[in-house]
Structure 1
Amino acid sequence: MFNIHKETFQFGGRELTLETGKIARQADGAVLATYGETVVLATAVGAANAKEGQDFFPLTVNYQERYYAAGKIPGGYFKRERAPTERETLISRLIDRPIRPLFADGFKNEVLVVAQVLSHDLENDPDVVAMIAASAALTLSGLPFQGPIGAARVGYINGEYVLNPAIDQYPESKLELVVAGTRDAVMMVESEAQELSEEVMLGAVVFGHAQMQAAIDAIIRLAEKAAKDPRPVPQDVHAPVRAAIKAAASAELAKAFQLPVKFERRDALSAVKKKFAEQFVGEGEGKVAANVYGGLLHDVEADVMRNAVLDTKKRVDGRDLTTVRPIVAEVGVLPRTHGSALFTRGETQALCIATLGTAEDEQFVDSLEGTGKQTFMLHYNFPPYSVGETGRMGSPGRREIGHGKLAWRAIHPMLPSKDEFPYTIRVVSEITESNGSSSMATVCGTSLALMDAGVPIKKPTAGIAMGLILEGDRYVVLSDILGDEDHLGDMDFKVAGTEDGVTSLQMDIKISGITKEIMKVALDQAKGGRLHIL
């Protein structure tokens, strides 16, 4: 009845087993991953066809922790799992970020990836297990996924890197870093560190990438036995129209990208789009639907902007590659708050407010590992008006939760101990303007607001977002990126820390990964930018 296939490999001193063919057989891909007594089921399903007129790739990743996995019953009146917790949201993003760039260009079918924690031994963290299981499920599914990826957690204990430290080792580690990548390159990094040097951080990424190769090898062996036939990869049928748009519109797009002010540039780009729509939108030869035209023009915009930066080493706002935008920092801007700061960097602005409370204000956290309390909270809000748009206002989305946690990781190592400062701290970052790097503006503004509130932080902390444009063997690393450079570039690389070391590093790659050399350049350049801000 069951056609079961397994692969087992050593990973951080313990066995990790990937099994398929017994559970969730109607999914396109399903893998049960067992690490110690932590068990995660990952499934991947892709719709048979793309919805008509859809011009984006609808990938959804859901990571779920079931209370029964740790022998617990949920609290609350209904006694069942409710909306995703912050941890579940963050791990869903952790899985999503490295796999999203690896789907074939032009693939627009809806894809759902679900990772469910079925058993938790309270020793082996299920997040990395879920990432590996999700990668395996996608590799088996037949979907046009150009993986697999591996993942690893790296600790730094007594001056040595530790692969997948046990949960009870976390307090003694100066580093908590999760890295994901393919056979040849790194795709994603997420970390919190105790003021470690750029060399130690880069070494941790390289160490994790080397160790995850065992997972990639095991997934490939499993796929050789159990993978479904690959679905056809969509062909680029619009290449001739794209080439025609490029020939017609490139000169005017180049002029638009020379305008340094965001709204003037946006209006000029909109005018170019409207002008050439008459020529390329419609029915018949050499014409496409309006939504397809928008996507093709976006491709041409990216090509024009990227080549201009590579050729001239000048950016859309006129800066060179390493210059940070003008900074204005103010504290005590609100009369009745405990601490406040307004941090403005170019066209990005964060209003950060710190509030102090008692032990009664601590945040109660209920998880599979048990219950606990947090004395530091950082909440990030990104209202639509910050980018001059209308839109939904409501509970925080995944992006807001992720950006808030990134800033939390950057600031957390610099807070005083509970014995030194027995107060609960809540910081809210209201993004009032945004043109790139708002999470790093939050780090800077939070550091100022905490000092304004009288919190004896160990050292001021600052953050900077780096970008990358890579074409063949040519590349440039950009300091303090704009929204357009983030949107049209290949990397979002955020580094925060003090004058003495890194406290948080986050990296997301939109291409098929980057090399150690590029990461080293980005880290060194980020250090210069961070010290300038401090």
Structure 2
Amino acid sequence: MLQEVTTDFAGRPLKLEVGRLAYQSDAAVVATYGDTVVLAAVNVTDKPTDMPFMPLRVDFEEKMYSVGRIPGGFFKREGRPSEEAILTCRKIDRPIRPLIPPGMRNDMQIIVLPLSVEADSSVDVISMIAASAGMHISSIPFDGPFGAVRVAQMDGELVLNPAFESLADADMDLLVAGTREGIVQIEMSGNAVGEQVIREGMKLGYEACACVIEAIEQLREKAGKPKGDFPLWEPRAEVVEFINSELKDRIIEALAMADKSERDGTLAGLQGEAVEALTEQGHESLGSDVHEVFEDIIKARLQDLAFEQGLRVDGRRLDEMRAVSCEVGLLPRVHGS
């Protein structure tokens, strides 16, 4: 059954549809913005893998027919992904990955297929929105949805979702993705602009995401699946207890070492010590558990240093750079410009 939601997005209608294509996928959303049409299909396996990380794959399948062209020459089909296609995959992946429970070990795949692309709307933004909607209505646990928008500074003015071809003349090209709770991704390129311009662009972009989030929520009410009861991996309780009680203080002391090689070597030695001690207690296959607990302690410590003391791990202030040295004339035959 076809279900759709339409909202005004930066002065143009954005339509999200479910039930038109890819019926056998766990979730499939067609997003239409002007003449740009994108299909995002989301799937997940029934059983978890034994991989020690979250197995999420994002594919952006670039097709020449979407812009009204056919590959010429001997090869009549697309070859390997272009640099732009790879970067679009990353733009889709980055805001999605932290919104999935970190213990998820079921294989997940998001395939984004641009069906029609016009010059007046950036396909990467619409692809991110379609993928967000697909994840939100799927059975995969997802702490979303998020919206995405492009903010450009052109002739001194901030513009939402400008025509793709006009971005070459923009002083700032800012991509913002955000949930109801806050911004989850920013990406920016362009000329040197003031911090106030960037802040205003982020604020404008985040506010523009609200209507997209609301539309995706409405789509879930109409066509969303119940979230699946997937088993979430987490380190064993006895491993967490042992490391927190026996090694946590030493981990924090190691993080205070200014020399990176010494710091990394000490932390590696502590991980080996933890594995050895726990193995003697009768535990097996400890690598992933120990690594995860160490990562949690290290991340928490780095956050405390940054937010409470304004310091990096090696003692530098957040606005302090390492000593930089430059030298010329080192190589006799090379040419630089």
Q: Which band: TM-score by shorter chain? A: over 0.9
1:448-459 to 2 correspondences below 5 Å: 453=337
Aligned residues of 2:235 and 2:290 also touching (Cα < 8 A):
no
Deviations 1:2-60 (A, max 9, x none): x11000111122111100112001111100111111111011111222212x2211211
Amino acid in the other structure paired with 1:326: A
1:76 shift after superposition: 4.0
1:172 shift after superposition: 4.1
Pick which of 201-210 and 248-257 moved more. Answer: 248-257
Q: Look up the match of 1:251.
A: 249
1:201-280 to 2 correspondences below 5 Å: 201-232=198-229, 234=231, 236=234, 238-280=236-278
1:233 shift after superposition: 5.2
Amino acid in the other structure paired with 2:275: A
Aligned residues of 2:235 and 2:293 also touching (Cα < 8 A):
no
What is the SS of the residue equivalent to 2:191? strand
Aligned residues of 1:70 and 1:119 also touching (Cα < 8 A):
yes
From the superposition, tell whether residues 306 and 56 of structure 1 become closer, same or farther in structure 2 (CA, over 3 Å). Answer: same
- Aligned counterpart for 1:169 among listed residues 162, 166, 170: 166
Whole-angstrom CA distance in 1 between matches of 2:263 and 2:74: 53
What is the SS of the residue equivalent to 1:121? coil
Aligned residues of 2:151 and 2:174 also touching (Cα < 8 A):
yes
Aligned residues of 2:136 and 2:144 also touching (Cα < 8 A):
yes
Aligned residues of 2:178 and 2:206 also touching (Cα < 8 A):
yes
Q: How many residues align?
A: 336
- Aligned counterpart for 1:15 among listed residues 1, 10, 13: 13
Deviations 1:259-315 (A, max 9, x none): 22122112111211111212324786x776332232223323333454456666554
RMSD across aligned positions (CA): 2.2
Q: Look up the match of 1:108.
A: 105
Pick which of 174-183 and 143-152 moved more. Answer: 174-183
What is the SS of the residue equivalent to 2:192? strand
Gaps of 5+ in 1: 340-452, 454-534
Whole-angstrom CA distance in 1 between matches of 2:78 and 2:281: 50
What is the SS of the residue equivalent to 2:110? strand
Query: Is residue 40 of structure 1 aligned with residue 55 of structure 2?
Result: no
Query: Is residue 69 of structure 1 aligned with residue 66 of structure 2?
Result: yes
Q: Look up the match of 1:51.
A: 49
From the superposition, tell whether residues 18 and 314 of structure 1 become closer, same or farther in structure 2 (CA, over 3 Å). Answer: closer
Gaps of 5+ in 2: none
Query: Is residue 127 of structure 1 aligned with residue 124 of structure 2?
Result: yes
What is the SS of the residue equivalent to 2:106? coil
Whole-angstrom CA distance in 2 between matches of 1:37 and 1:307: 47
What is the SS of the residue equivalent to 1:111? strand
What is the SS of the residue equivalent to 2:251? helix
1:120 shift after superposition: 1.5
Whole-angstrom CA distance in 2 between matches of 1:311 and 1:126: 40
What is the SS of the residue equivalent to 1:142? coil
Aligned residues of 2:60 and 2:85 also touching (Cα < 8 A):
yes
Whole-angstrom CA distance in 2 between matches of 1:274 and 1:214: 50
- Aligned counterpart for 2:194 among listed residues 183, 192, 197: 197
More strand by share: 1
Aligned residues of 2:67 and 2:116 also touching (Cα < 8 A):
yes
Aligned residues of 1:5 and 1:226 also touching (Cα < 8 A):
yes
Deviations 1:217-276 (A, max 9, x none): 000000011111101254557345313311111122123222221221121112111112
Query: Is residue 182 of structure 1 aligned with residue 147 of structure 2?
Result: no
Aligned residues of 1:242 and 1:297 also touching (Cα < 8 A):
no
From the superposition, tell whether residues 306 and 36 of structure 1 become closer, same or farther in structure 2 (CA, over 3 Å). Answer: closer
- Aligned counterpart for 1:301 among listed residues 298, 301, 304: 298
Whole-angstrom CA distance in 1 between matches of 2:155 and 2:309: 46
From the superposition, tell whether residues 65 and 310 of structure 1 become closer, same or farther in structure 2 (CA, over 3 Å). Answer: closer
Aligned residues of 2:235 and 2:289 also touching (Cα < 8 A):
no
Whole-angstrom CA distance in 2 between matches of 1:264 and 1:42: 46
Whole-angstrom CA distance in 1 between matches of 2:306 and 2:167: 42
What is the SS of the residue equivalent to 1:214? helix
Q: Look up the match of 1:450.
A: none
1:310-321 to 2 correspondences below 5 Å: 314-321=311-318
1:115-514 to 2 correspondences below 5 Å: 115-232=112-229, 234=231, 236=234, 238-281=236-279, 289-307=286-304, 314-339=311-336, 453=337
Identity %: 36
1:157 shift after superposition: 2.4
Amino acid in the other structure paired with 1:24: A
